Amino acid sequence: MKISAVMIVKNEEAKLNRCLASIHHIVEEIIIVDTGSTDRTRDIAAQYTDKIYHFDWINDFSAARNYALAMSTGDYNLIIDADEYLTHWAPDTINTFMRKHNQIGVVTLKNKIEQNGQTLYNSDYISRFLPKGVKYTGKIHEQPDSNFSRLLIPLELTHDGYFHRSNDKFSRNITLLEDSLKEDPSNSYYLHQIANEYLGLDRLKEAGVYFPRAYSSISSSDSFFPQFIVNYITYLRKTQSYSKGLEIIKDNEKFLEFYPDFYFESAGFYLDYVMSNPQKNINYLPLIEVCYKACIEIGDISTHASMAGTGSFLAHYNLGVFYETTGQVDKAMKCYHQAEKKGYQPAKSGIERLSK
């Protein structure tokens, strides 16, 4: 069966070659739709395909993607962006998947991010391997418009578009999300996304408008519910809204007991809460250890969007810091060694410090 790579691009000369070099050998066709590049994007694309088209940008990602899909002649379409590149592909398994027809392939998207001076990766699972005829809906954070079943396939893309992301992309996304919310004011997915965009910009006042609105409309069965709750806790930490944070953690643990990121962020919340008034809140100190231990017991997962390490090296390292600062040196050393075995470099400093 024929696989086509389908892309929309604009001014991607810095990353397009890396993307196309990673996929050209696994697809039979590359479709590139340019929405108005003024750099060398089209010249780079021409080194890999002659199927390059133009689409006037109308502030609608689905419209552009659907135009690109209409140009494809493939039985299956791999949707990929220029700031992504292929890092894993199991052709035999995927060929078997395609022969079953009428299924949408869910791929692993590893997002490179910077957090506290460290380069980390979180994984998301998105519907990007589409059978012919499936189209998109939604102006932004567009989704396949199909009732076909979805199945995780062994295809991994790495994405670094969030690494040192420009404010222009945040602003563009916010504009499109605001337009979408005018049409559908109670859409929990759009509310969740716009809250995240404002949180990413550290515009906490605006984020504070959308997080409660999203929380009131979201369902625990929504696929994005776990990540939303984690982000909401992050917002409440940043704004020192401790009473609300304690309420959110308590009310949602029953839904997220198998999600390490929830316990990881809760541990950070409890730490901030204790430090805000140690004398008053010291009884919450043991919950930090409880949460990091819960992370380790659950382990890293591949069922929901998750930060790599929240169920392993990050949890071990942070638990080690907790033990070190509370004078439990032997326990701290064990945790640092566990984190170091996973290649987490900051753990080496902890080992060296405690070895003196």
Burial of 175 (0-12, 13-18, 19+ CB in 10 A): middle
How big, in percent rounded to 5, are the helix, strand and coil portions of the chain? 50, 20, 30
Give the whole-angstrom CA distance, residue 195 versus residue 214.
Answer: 8
Q: Which residues contact 323 (CB under 8 A, 6 or more apart)?
A: 289, 329, 331, 332, 335
**Stretch 226-246: mean pLDDT, rounded?**
98
Q: What is the DSSP string of 273-302?
A: HHHHSHHHHGGGHHHHHHHHHHHHHH---S
Rounded-to-integer distance, Cα 268 and Cα 250, Å: 15
Burial class (CB in 10 A: 0-12, 13-18, 19+), 94: buried
pLDDT at residue 116 greater than cutoff 80: no
DSSP state, residue 350:
H
pLDDT in tens, 9-46: 999 999 999 999 999 999 999 999 999 999 999 999 99
The model's pLDDT over 303-355, given as tens digits with 9 standing for 90+, comes to 888 999 999 999 999 999 999 999 999 999 999 999 999 999 999 999 999 99
Q: State the pTM of this model.
A: 0.90
- Compute the mean pLDDT over every residue in the chain, rounded to the nearest whole number: 95
How confident is the model over 254-279, as a mean pLDDT? 97
Q: Confidence class of residue 165 from pLDDT cuts 50, 70 and 90? A: low
High-pLDDT (> 70) share of the chain, %: 99
Question: How many CB atoms are located within 10 Å of the residue 174 CB?
Answer: 19
